[in-house]
Copies of this chain bind each other. A is one copy, B any other.
Amino acid sequence: MRKGQKKLSASLEALKKAEAICESNGLKLTKLRKQVLNLIWKKPGYVKAYDLLDELKKVDPSAKPPTVYRTLDFLMENGLIHKIQSVNAFIGCPHPDEHNECYFLICDRCQKIEECCSTKINNVVSSTSKNNNFTPSKVTFEIAGTCQNCLN
């Protein structure tokens, strides 16, 4: 498989899932939202909001920060993308149809992110929360470092 191919199909896959999810939830995946979702998937690594804005401006010069942030909000609310807090950036979610507690391996060098799911986190979260009488609502778990590929 050539470079980029996997990405391409992942992107198409993501769009299909997004359409299915919106369809079944009565949400509108508008042209703008599709464009933004595609732009996010097109980039190999994570994407910054203002880079997205620059890309968007190429096809719609009237795009402005709220255009992007509102669209990102929609995509996040519906689980189609994730915000990575430690770098203020966004990535597409490869499995928006499954709601897992996920975490992220973020490569400092190539900006690529691996999304991982593990019940272990759920366990840590729920046991700690119980111990502290804490009611959790949002988990942020991000591991920055260097990926295999960049080490070589």
Tell me the A97-152 residues at the B interface (CB within 8 Å).
103, 105, 107-108, 114, 116, 118, 120-121, 123-125, 128-129, 132-148, 151
Question: Is the pair B140, A86 in contact by a Cβ cutoff of 8 Å?
Answer: yes
Q: Which of B125, B138, B146, B147 contacts A86 (CB 8 A)?
A: B138
Question: Is the pair A148, B124 in contact by a Cβ cutoff of 8 Å?
Answer: no
Q: How far is the CA of A141 from the CA of B147 in the complex (A)?
A: 19
Question: Is the pair A136, B145 in contact by a Cβ cutoff of 8 Å?
Answer: yes
Report the nearest B residue to A151, measured CB to CB. B135
How many interface residues does A have (CB within 8 Å)?
34
- Indicate how many identical chains form the complex: 2
- A134 CB to nearest B CB, Å: 5
Q: How far is the CA of A56 from the CA of B4 in the complex (A)?
A: 51
* Residue of A116, A123, A125, A140 with highest tally of chain B CB at under 10 A: A140
Complex A-B, nearest 3 residue pairs according to Cβ-Cβ distance, in ascending order: A133-B148, A136-B145, A85-B85
Interface set of A (CB-CB < 8 Å, partner B): 85-86, 103, 105, 107-108, 114, 116, 118, 120-121, 123-125, 128-129, 132-148, 151
